[in-house]
Amino acid sequence: MPSDAQAEIDAGQRFAFGANWTAFLSLMSPERLNVAEAAIRQLLGTETLAEKTFLDIGSGSGLSSLAAHSMGARVTSFDFDQQSVNCTTELRRRYALDDPTWTVQQGSVLDSAFMGSLGTFDVVYSWGVLHHTGQMWNAIDQATLRVAPGGQLFIAIYNDEGGMSRFWTAVKRIYCSGPLGRWLMLGVFIPYFVARHLAKLVLTGGQASRTSRTRGMSVYYDWIDWLGGYPFEVAKVEELLHFCQKRGFVLENLTTTNRLGCNELVFRRKV
């Protein structure tokens, strides 16, 4: 069985993703939900998820699960971090009135028995999660096994930028090492992030804030997630394509980055 998330956080081996999402909930709005829905529609190539089953691996704030539910899907959400489970449960309470077509639970994508108990789904979704498990390729493999024949797999994985990726791995490890490391990294990088963001706002006429929240997320809490997001692994698009194609998937949609962000890939499982 995978270790407890809080124990890993206390040992400096994992970022407190759930605490960050708890803070984000105060910013939740209908506008953010609309943006999240639009992102899912665009990548999956559909206007509705009615009559579809949707598995959200690492649901975090619960925003993507809520978006899928609003689009008509029967949603199963889970997260390794209990605080993230609580966040998703709270969004379900607020916006879905505890609808039984949306279930939320605690679990790990690395727990093959737990994953097998979930069954298969029309859409398996995991945005920016599997590279934070400490066993990324195992996690991706477990995700592929939950996709029904003819179903879709939507993953977003950090792009491999070689030396820069190694640098940020070190930053994240320091951030998670304890209060001193956390405040040191915040003091060094947040002023830089703010200055860069303000410069983009000036250069784009105020549009940078909008484009940096293309999934309905918060700029500030994304910064914190980026600084602390550990464990941290990366992959090249070609590696992801090869890995999933070997498992009977064909690529349907791809959004790449030549920087340190995530590459988004949508596959369909062969029938």
pLDDT category at 212 given cuts 50, 70, 90 is very low
> Which residues, in sequence order, are CB contacts of 47 under 8 Å at separation 6+?
41
**Which token pair is 233?**
């692994």
What is the amino acid identity at position 173?
A: R
pLDDT digits 0-9 by tens, 42-91: 999 999 999 999 999 999 999 999 999 999 999 999 999 999 999 999 99
Instruction: Cite the residue boundaries of each domain of the chain with CATH code 3.40.50.150.
Output: 5-160+233-269
The tokens for 83 are: 């605080």
For the four alpha carbons of 14, 213, 197 and 168, in that order, the dihedral sign comes to positive
Distance (Å, rounded) from C-alpha 37 to C-alpha 65?
10
- Mean pLDDT of the region 188-199: 87
Please state which architecture CATH assigns to domain 5-160+233-269.
3-Layer(aba) Sandwich (3.40)
What does the pLDDT look like over 9-55, one tens digit per residue? 877 788 778 787 888 888 888 898 999 999 999 999 999 999 999 99
Rounded Cα distance, 40 and 23, in Å: 23
Q: Are 68 and 74 in contact (CB under 8 A)?
A: no
Instruction: Report which of 101, 108, 112, 106 is spatially closest to residue 88, judged by C-alpha positions.
Output: 106
